[in-house]
């Protein structure tokens, strides 16, 4: 009887060990806080008070704020996998710092990019193997 209980407990623990764990990264934007943001009325200070600091701001100006939320799932002995991603983009009017527009995006809106294989040439001399080796000790 005791062995069955031990086997049952071991089986239950093994099943629980195989379950997926979900981790939330970034800023979780509550729908109630998002409903309080009105384009043309809400200011940057009010957005910061409602949602906190943005995950990122625009590259060339700070009139675009990004709030990113990612949910990652991971099973034991497996790499983490993206389950969902939401990006809230808030644009502000540069003259008045009032919300101009709100846009929500998901991972489906993303684009796969392929890195360029092109090489950038550099100006200057090219050194051979021996020039590099003996140049460090002062021999030209």
pTM score, two decimals? 0.67
- Phi and psi at residue 101, to the nearest 5°: -155, 155
Q: For the chain, which residues score pLDDT lower than 70? A: 1-2, 5-17, 123-124, 138-140
Q: Report pLDDT for 1.
A: 58
Q: Report how far residue 64's alpha carbon sits from residue 57's, in angstroms, rounded to the nearest whole number.
A: 6
Q: Report pLDDT for 32.
A: 93
Q: Report pLDDT for 86.
A: 93
DSSP state of 117: -
Q: Report pLDDT for 7.
A: 61
Q: Report pLDDT for 107.
A: 82
Q: Report how far residue 123's alpha carbon sits from residue 131's, in angstroms, rounded to the nearest whole number.
A: 18
Q: Report pLDDT for 42.
A: 95
Q: Report pLDDT for 45.
A: 94
Q: Report pLDDT for 20.
A: 84
Residue listed under structure tokens 């939320």: 69
Q: Report pLDDT for 43.
A: 94
- 72-93 pLDDT, tens digit per residue, is 999 888 888 888 999 999 999 9
């Amino acid at each position: 009887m005791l062995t069955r209980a031990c086997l049952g407990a071991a089986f239950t623990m093994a099943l629980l060990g195989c379950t997926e764990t979900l981790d939330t990264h970034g800023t979780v934007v509550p729908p109630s806080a998002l409903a309080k943001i009105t384009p043309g009325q809400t200011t940057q200070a009010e957005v910061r008070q409602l949602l906190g600091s943005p995950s990122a701001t625009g590259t060339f100006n700070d009139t675009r704020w990004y709030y990113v939320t990612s949910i990652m799932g991971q099973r034991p002995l497996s790499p983490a996998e993206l389950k969902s991603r939401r990006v809230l983009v808030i644009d502000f009017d540069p003259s008045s710092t009032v919300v101009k527009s709100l846009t929500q995006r998901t991972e489906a809106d993303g684009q796969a990019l392929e890195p360029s294989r092109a090489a950038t040439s550099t100006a200057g001399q090219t050194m051979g193997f021996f020039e590099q080796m003996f140049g460090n000790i002062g021999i030209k």
